[in-house]
Amino acid sequence: MAALSGKRRIWLTGATSGIGRALAVELLDQGHLVALSGRNESTLEALCKGRENALPVPLDVTDSDAVAIAGHHIGDLFGHLDVAILNAGSCEYLDARQLDTALVERVFATNFFGTIYCVRAALPLLRRACELGSRPLLAATSSASAYLALPRAEAYGASKAALSYFLESLRLDLASEAIDISLIHPGFVATPLTERNDFPMPLRVSAEAAANAIVAGLEKRRLDIHFPRRFTFTLRLLGLLPPAMRLVLGKRLVRHPASEY
């Protein structure tokens, strides 16, 4: 089982379900002081019950003002952050025949803007850690879909690709401040979100396996934490193909049920 060395002060978003919940349990069991954020307040309270090292911080990351308040609250209680793991996310698939721009906005509101609001709130607390002589870490959950365009993933994949680009660029600007950034690109993970998927999910892993891979990557401060590697390496390689070849391969993944025509 992978572990983060020492005892860290951590903020984890999206903590009440899926990968986030598995991460929360693992980090708390390791004895870290963890501020846990999620929209479901009762689920969050249950997760923190009986754990003195858990701080529940109910939060909808799409609410910019609420995120700022949460950051101040964590700062008042923790003083600083050693690690921020911004994991909150959502997924909706697009039907190109009825282009629902509201759907795209919803997905970007959580996956991109919500994460950026949290980055803004976390940075002052990470900078305080720098002042104390440590090297803090900012991590965010993107997706392996950011490596390769996939059918129906226009909103989800684009939001994750935007997030990956934003944080890779931010990594350059924060390098002089000794704030490290890790990007997390999971493949398919067994979560309540993926349970709704109506297509095959090759090499799907458990949320616990995903959490273990993430913690191992964070401990090594990997720039890109991706898993399961057989799947993610395949997507990365396909993403390097010329556009015409990507188009040929991608069209094979598009479904055209006869009942829809």
The whole-number pLDDT of residue 3 equals 84
257 or 143: which leads in pLDDT: 143
50-54, 92-96, 206-210, 212-216: the lowest-pLDDT one:
92-96
- 143, pLDDT greater than 70: yes
Residue 261 has what pLDDT? 28
pLDDT at 100 over 80: yes
**Contacts of 252 by beta carbon, 8 Å cutoff, 6+ apart:** none
- Centroid of chain to Cα 126: 18
pLDDT of the residue at 192? 77
Question: CB within 8 A of 57, min separation 6: which ones?
Answer: 11, 35, 36, 37, 44, 70, 73, 74
User: Where along the chain do its domains lie?
Assistant: 9-260
pLDDT at 2: 83
Of the listed ranges 49-63, 165-179, 193-207, the least confidently predicted one is 193-207
Helix, strand, coil percentages, rounded to 5, for the chain: 50, 15, 35
Quick check: 259 pLDDT over 70? no
| Per-residue confidence (pLDDT) for residue 257, from 0 to 100 | 54
95, HSE (Cβ side, Cα atoms, 13 Å)? 6
| Tokens of residue 202, six digits | 């090759």
For residue 43, report the phi and psi dihedrals to the nearest 5 degrees.
-65, -40
Average pLDDT of the chain is 94
Determine contact, residues 13/59, Cβ cutoff 8 Å: yes
**Domain range 9-260, CATH architecture:** 3-Layer(aba) Sandwich (3.40)
Burial class (CB in 10 A: 0-12, 13-18, 19+), 45: middle
**Mean pLDDT throughout 155-169?**
98
DSSP string covering 169-200: HHHHHHGGGT-EEEEEEE--EESTTGGG--S-
Least confident of 75-89, 126-140, 194-208: 194-208
Q: What is the mean pLDDT of residues 132-154?
A: 95
Which residue has tokens 């996310």? 89
Mean pLDDT of the region 245-256: 86
Asked if residue 260 has pLDDT above 70, the reply is no
Share of the chain above pLDDT 90, in %: 85
pLDDT tens by residue, 22-70: 999 999 999 999 999 999 999 999 999 999 999 999 999 999 999 999 9
Taking residues 207-218, what's their average pLDDT?
Answer: 97
Q: Indicate whether 168 pLDDT > 70.
A: yes
Residue 200: band (very low, low, confident or very high) from pLDDT cuts 50, 70, 90:
confident
